[in-house]
Structure 1
Amino acid sequence: MDTTALLADAFERVREAVHEAVEGLSEDELAARPEEGANTVAWLVWHLARVQDDHLADAAGREQVWTSEGWAGRFGLPFPDTATGYGHSAGDVAAVRAPASDLLGYADAVHARTLDYVRTLDAGDLDRVVDEGWDPPVTLGVRLVSVLADDLQHAGQAAYVRGLLERRG
């Protein structure tokens, strides 16, 4: 398997997990918390898509889907367009409300843009430094693995929250 196929497969698994966590839930269910202060399915999916969008856009030297395709305006969240969810409070988590169609629409748009980018890469590209702010500096390969790990963790958390909510009825 080549680099492109490996990365595309990994990001496809994120997409599948996101759809499984979100499909069929109402906006209220997506915004429900299993207990006070917990993350919601809506926030978890929005956050993982925002991080993927932010990090991949930076690595590719392009504008984020969030702003370039009007998703920031559609969601109308009370955060700067640059917000990705890092450092969000319980109140910020509660502010992320959206129908499944918008959450999945944004996540799918990010996924499509991600695949467009990773399909241009070869193994040599993965050694390119994309962030000098760390010691050691972060390469593209490390950044992609980091995004995938974060996305899969949050997609799994969203599925877990969904399961808790479904058990509660």
Structure 2
Amino acid sequence: MTLAAMLSVALLGAISDGEVVLTFDKVEAGKPVPSYKDEDRGVEFALSRPPAKGKAAGRVMFFPHLKTDRKGILNAIANESIPVEVRFPKPVSRVTLELWGSIGSAALVEAYDKDGKVVDTTKRDKVPERTGPEKPVPSFELTVKATAIAYVRFSGAPPGGYLVCDEVRFTPRPDPAK
């Protein structure tokens, strides 16, 4: 492998099986924004639709994971449950989201193809809860797989609750030209 190729792999956060890891350790927490784009990887995060219960613009926000150094992205509209959409610049074959949420939240991850058709779904009826106030909110993973995932959506928090994604791992599809 050339030096340029090795640097490219290192910059993309790729690991041995081609999986790319995206975290939010360097973003600013607590500031609602219309969308967020990871410039290195081209992955974009935004609400899947505008809010229906008010005239405010939809927003996503980074939130600190209590008792840890991690940060995650969530729907910043507290009174409406709108899925967060994660769009990939090129189709991927597998996506794993590391999530955590408020008591009473469920978790749903849906994968879509370029035509907006659901190609895989996974869910958890109830997110894990802390075992004590000194403990962090437990994280868990949900994975979807399909031939060509264009985007995923995650949701499940009731109004006033939250479901946070603090890591996205995805496997790019092999280049068909090679």
Same fold per superposition (TM over 0.5): no
Larger % of helix: which?
A: 1
Larger % of strand: which?
A: 2
Query: Which category describes the TM-score, using the shorter chain as reference length?
Result: under 0.3
- TM-score, normalized by length of structure 2? 0.22
Higher RCO, Cα 8 Å, sep 6+: 1
- TM-score, normalized by length of structure 1? 0.23
